[in-house]
Amino acid sequence: MSEKEKPIPPCRRCLIIRYFLVSASLFIVCIPIAGSKFEPLKHLTAWHFVAIIFAIGIAGLIFKYIFEMPRYSDKDRKS
């Protein structure tokens, strides 16, 4: 009997891109449905979204630096 090959999971970068595309498309689909509930968002420009994306990127970088960096002790380092 041959073993079934396990499917290779998508890379992390691909998952992030897919989640972004799905959330953006859901937001676009919800615009006509929500109608007047999006009125407060009318004053936002593209630069507001640039700043939001930039802030999320910096927060992600800090999170990654704090939680995902490998920890080294003095015994592990070679001089």
Residue at token pair 């509930």:
37
Phi (first) and psi of residue 46, to 5 degrees? -65, -30
Given this model, what pLDDT does residue 76 score?
A: 58
pLDDT tens sequence across 49-70: 899 999 999 998 999 888 887 7
Amino acid making up residue 51: A
d(CA 66, CA 75) in angstroms, rounded, equals: 21
Given this model, what pLDDT does residue 56 score?
A: 92
Within 8 A by CB and 6+ apart from 18, the residues are: 10
Q: Residue 1's pLDDT band (boundaries 50, 70, 90)?
A: very low
d(CA 50, CA 22) in angstroms, rounded, equals: 19
pLDDT tens sequence across 19-49: 989 998 998 888 888 878 878 878 889 899 8
Q: Let me know: does 25 contact 17? Beta carbons within 8 Å.
A: no
Q: What is the pTM of this model?
A: 0.49
